[in-house]
Amino acid sequence: MTELEQRCIDAGLKMTGPRKTILKVLNNSNHLSVEEVYEKAKAIDSTISIATVYRTLSMLDELDLVTRQEFNETFSRYDTNLDHHHHLIDLDTGKVIEFQNEELEKLKEKIAEELGFELVDHTLELYGRRIKKKKK
């Protein structure tokens, strides 16, 4: 029983076949697009429908078990909320590198406070290229 499954049950959701399949996919990889979740889910259970994938991901987002991210793409990706981190997107490969930074967390709070706001949520993405040799 994975943490994700347990949390769904706690939330009163039925543990159906399609749901187990999708949760398994989410446990195995992160930062997937809907289409990617769908493809991986189909590999496990070929009868699953993309409507179910959309519905399940929306539910999980509402339960805060997953976060819908938009990056600057025209479709969404979903992240499991098992830890708090940010993303650095490698512009050459499209790969997503995760990072955490305490200093950054504090700075955000400070900025919001200075503006008279209580911070509820935030997004930060860095886009970069791997530094090769000793350039510049």
Minimum separation from the CB atom of position 78 to DNA (A):
9
85 binds a copy of itself per the rule CB under 8 A? no
- Residue of the chain from 12, 47, 115, 134 that contacts a copy of itself (CB under 8 A): 115
Report the distance separating Cα 24 and Cα 5, nearest Å: 9
DSSP 6-65: HHHHHTT----HHHHHHHHHHHH--SEEHHHHHHHHHHH-TT--HHHHHHHHHHHHHTTS
Query: Minimum distance between the CB of residue 59 and DNA, rounded to whole angstroms?
Result: 8
Residues whose CB falls within 8 Å of the CB of residue 61, separated by 6 or more in sequence, listed in order: 67, 68, 78
Give yes or no for residue 130 binding a copy of itself (CB under 8 A).
yes
How many C-beta atoms lie closer than 10 Å to residue 42's C-beta? Answer: 16
Selected from 47, 120, 133, 134, the binder of a copy of itself by CB under 8 A is 120
- Which 3 state secondary structure label does DSSP give 110? helix
- Residue 12 interacting with a copy of itself (CB under 8 A): no
**Contact between 68 and a copy of itself (CB under 8 A)?**
yes
Q: What residues does 68 pair with on adjacent strands? A: 78
Q: Pick one of 39, 71, 81, 96: the residue that binds a copy of itself (CB under 8 A).
A: 71
Q: Exactly one of 5, 55, 90, 96 binds a copy of itself (CB under 8 A); which one?
A: 90
Residues that bind a copy of itself (CB under 8 A): 68-73, 88, 90-91, 97, 99, 101, 103-104, 107-108, 111-113, 115-131
